Each structure stands twice: as structure tokens, then as C-alpha cells.
A = this chain, B = another copy of it.
Amino acid sequence: MQQQTDPIFQEFSDICRKLDWRMTSSRLAVYRYVRGNKEHPTVDAVWKAVQKEQPNISRESVYRILTDFAAKGLIYILDPPNVVARYDSSSKRHDHFFCQQCGKIVDFNADEIDAIIRNKLSAVGRIDRVEARVLGVCQECLDKETVSKTIK
């Protein structure tokens, strides 16, 4: 990886040092494309864009690089890969809590947010549905953690 003077190179160089990562041209190219990008790109979109700079980069590397970036909080996974379809018996507006540990999904109602958000997005277009999604760890899983730590 050649030394470069542009600011993004410097920025990413620092990131790699902190993360104890080797700074590769693939990672830098993905970082360049993703940084500040408002498109919420798919893997293929990133891949095609980055190919202009790095013609030999493989789709698989893009997968790995994006996964690593997300694991370190550099980016956020808006829609994760390999989510299996789920169906909800209620089609009425409501909200969901997802336990990241056991996978449990809990319904709840925060109907207040509907008006707040409709008001805020009035210029964006027609709004068909507003849903809050909450990620966390449920109380049962938290309790289990405590027990196992206590027993040790």
C-alpha cells in the first residue's frame, strides 16, 4: 500500500492503526466509496463502484470488508444478510423489540410516534406505515448472563 497524502488516506490509515488492521487497497477503496455515502448501498453496488478503482476486487472481499467495518462500528448494517422471512399475525400498526441474543420478538405499541413522524415527513411523500424497531437484549437473557457470571 503506497503512502498517499490525501486526507481520506490519512484518516483511514489512522483507523487501521487503531484497529490493528493492515491497510490494503481494497479496504481503502471500500472506505472511500462508503464514507459519507447516502445511498444505503448493497454489496453489489459497492462492488461495482469500487471496481472502477480496483478492477480485481472480488465480491467476496467486499462482503468481508463491509462485515468487518460494521463489526467495528464504522458503518451500520441497515438490512443484514441472511434474514429469514417472518410473518406477523397482526396487520395493525404496532412496534417490535428484537432480542439480539435469543431472537425473541416482542410486540409493543408506541402509537404516539405515528403522528410525530407523519408530521415530520409530510414533504417526503405518502406515508403508508410507521414502525419502530428496537434492538436490545431481553430481560430473560440479561438474567441468564448474570446467573452464569455469578456461578463462575
Q: At the interface, is chain A mostly helix, strand, loop or mixed? A: mixed
Cβ-defined contact, B100 with A110, below 8 A? no
A135 within 8 A of B: yes
Q: Looking at the complex, which one of B86, B100, B137 makes contact with A40 (CB distance below 8 Å)? A: B86
Q: Mark A13-48, 1 if CB is under 8 A from B, else 0.
A: 000000000000000000000111111111110100
Number of A interface residues in the complex (CB < 8 A)? 69
A125, B142: Cβ atoms under 8 Å? Answer: yes
Interface centre among A66, A75, A86, A137 (most CB of B within 10 A): A86
Complex Cα–Cα for A107 and B86 (A): 25
Residue from the list B85, B90, B120, B127 in contact with A43, Cβ < 8 A? B85
